[in-house]
């Protein structure tokens, strides 16, 4: 056999053997990684170690990055679950308190001979039952707003008459306080794309929040910025230093850490969830003694 031909044959044989050995090495590393992933305790911090085969290090790094992301997600889920359990415990206290108060007033009314006093006791009991009903309604609304399959019907909504209707629904409270809300729209014909029920819930919660925690009548303004409409609900507040604007939309957040203030701490969280579901942005800012909450919506074409 010619020497050159023999050299070529030997080269090809050597190359084939090298490829076979490399392939066997790769398969061995892949089997080792697969076995590790099958047998690994999901709660452990064990990571894939890289073998000597070229490219396996990149694979091991990618697998370890996914394991780290999964571990972080579990930690976050556990933290949220613990926070939710603590919040529910606080909320259950808020629900029991007015119920116990209502029960006490009903007992007083039962034993009261004076009709006027009995009527006062019954009114006090009814007020506490109404407070409990509001808390439960907010809890239901929050649960609904977190549903990923929440059905929304987005349609054009004329913003100014819609906002005026929301304000009218709170007229008795405004009248009781002697407050006159301000409505300032740059264009009375502003129209936005929104689900009417969801937008009504957002605006109602914003107005109720202003009534409950504000020290003066709220102002509702709106203007168009490009293809977005910015609606702002602002009002003076008595203690601006107690408010963490970055946390206002957190579930169960209340500026009063003692939870002595009225409300469930869910109203603004509901606003944030519903706004997100409709592709809107919502943000809060405290300037001086004024709290302003801005809702950015898509303008109808």
The CA distance from 240 to 292, in Å, is 11
In the chain, the number of structural domains is 3
Query: pLDDT tens across 118-146, in order?
Result: 899 898 889 888 888 877 887 778 777 87
Do residues 7 and 70 share a domain?
A: yes
pLDDT at position 5, please? 57
Query: In degrees to the nearest 10, what's the CA dihedral of 149, 154, 160, 162?
Result: -60
- pTM as predicted: 0.65
Residue pLDDT, tens place only, 197-238: 999 999 999 999 999 888 999 999 999 999 999 999 999 998
pLDDT number for residue 193: 96
Q: How far apart are CA 65 and CA 193, in angstroms?
A: 41
Residue 273 belongs to domain with CATH number: 3.30.565.10
**pLDDT of 15 above 80:** no
Choose among 158, 180, 192, 173: nearest CA to 279.
192
Place of tokens 């010619």: 2
- Compute the distance between CA of residue 263 and CA of residue 138 in angstroms, rounded to an integer: 9
Looking at the chain, list the stretches that DSSP marks H as alpha helix, in order from N- to C-terminal side.
3-39, 56-111, 115-145, 159-169, 171-177, 196-213, 267-277
Classify residue 79: in a domain, yes or no. no
* 226 φ/ψ sector (left φ>0, alpha ψ -120 to 50, else beta): left
CB-CB neighbours of 167 under 10 Å: 16
Confidence at residue 10, expressed as pLDDT on a 0 to 100 scale: 57
CATH code for the domain in which residue 133 is found: 1.10.287.130
pLDDT score at 6: 55
For residues 21-36, give the mean pLDDT. 66
More confident residue, 167 or 257: 167
Last residue of a domain, one of 145, 178, 198: 145
The confidence band for 258, taking pLDDT boundaries of 50, 70 and 90, is very low
pLDDT surpasses 90 at 281: yes
152-203 confidence digits (pLDDT tens)? 899 999 999 999 999 999 999 999 999 999 999 999 999 999 999 999 999 9
pLDDT at 23: 56
Q: Look at residue 94 and tell me if it is in a domain.
A: yes
d(CA 205, CA 193): 19
**What pLDDT was estimated at residue 262?**
54
Do both 281 and 213 map to the same domain?
yes
Residues 166, 279, single domain; the answer is: yes
Least Cα distance to 187 among 217, 221, 218, 155 occurs for 221
Specify the pairing of strand 182-185 against strand 281-287. unpaired
From first CA to last CA, the distance across the chain in angstroms is: 84
* Orientation of helix 196-213 relative to helix 267-277, angle to 10°: 150
- Work out the pLDDT band at 25, boundaries 50, 70, 90: low
The pLDDT value recorded for residue 238 is 86
Q: What is the pLDDT of residue 257?
A: 45
Looking at the fold, whether 267 and 194 belong to one and the same domain comes out as: yes
pLDDT attached to residue 245: 85
Examine the domain organization and report whether 175 and 293 are in the same domain.
yes
pLDDT of residue 12: 58
Spatial distance between the Cα atoms of 174 and 100, rounded to a whole number of angstroms: 29
Would you say 152 and 195 are in contact if contact means Cβ atoms under 8 Å apart? yes
Tell me how far apart the alpha carbons of residues 94 and 57 are, in angstroms, rounded to a whole number. Answer: 55
Which of 145, 174, 195 is a domain's end point? 145
Which residue would you say has higher pLDDT here, 24 or 256?
Answer: 24
Residue 259 has pLDDT above 50, yes or no: no
> What is the extent of the structural domain holding 207?
154-298
Report the pLDDT value the prediction gives residue 260, as an integer from 0 to 100. 42
Distance CA(277)–CA(195), nearest Å, equals 10
Tell me which of 237 and 18 has the higher pLDDT.
Answer: 237
Task: Choose the final residue of a domain: 74, 93, 113.
Answer: 74
**What pLDDT digit, counting tens, does each position of 42-98 carry?**
777 777 776 666 666 777 777 778 878 877 877 777 776 776 666 666 667 667 778
């Amino acid at each position: 056999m010619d020497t050159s031909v023999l050299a070529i044959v030997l080269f090809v044989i050597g190359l084939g053997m090298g490829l076979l050995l490399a392939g066997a090495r790769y398969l061995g590393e892949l089997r080792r990684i697969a076995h590790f992933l099958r047998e690994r305790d999901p709660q452990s911090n064990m990571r894939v170690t890289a073998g000597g085969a070229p490219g396996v290090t990149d694979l091991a790094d990618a697998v370890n990055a996914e394991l780290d992301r999964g571990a972080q997600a579990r930690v976050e889920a556990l933290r949220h679950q613990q926070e939710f359990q603590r919040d529910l415990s606080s909320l259950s206290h808020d629900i029991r308190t007015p119920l116990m108060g209502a029960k006490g007033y009903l007992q007083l009314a039962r034993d009261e001979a004076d009709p006027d006093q009995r009527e006062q006791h019954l009114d006090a009991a009814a007020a506490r039952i109404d407070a409990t009903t509001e808390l439960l309604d907010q809890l239901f609304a929050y649960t609904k707003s977190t549903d990923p399959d929440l059905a929304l019907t987005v349609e054009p909504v004329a913003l100014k008459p819609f906002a005026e209707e929301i304000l009218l629904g709170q007229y008795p409270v405004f009248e009781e306080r002697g407050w006159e809300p301000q409505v300032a729209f740059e264009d009375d014909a502003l129209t936005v794309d929104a689900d009417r029920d969801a937008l009504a819930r957002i605006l109602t919660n914003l107005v109720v929040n202003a009534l409950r925690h504000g020290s003066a009548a709220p102002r509702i303004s709106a203007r168009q910025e490009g293809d977005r409409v910015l609606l702002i609900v602002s009002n003076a507040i008595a203690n601006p230093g107690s408010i963490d604007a970055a946390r206002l939309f957190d579930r169960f957040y209340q500026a009063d850490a003692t939870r002595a203030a009225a409300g469930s701490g869910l109203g603004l969280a509901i606003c944030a969830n519903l706004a997100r579901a409709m592709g809107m942005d919502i943000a809060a800012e405290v300037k001086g003694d004024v709290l302003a909450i801005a809702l950015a919506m898509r303008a109808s074409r």
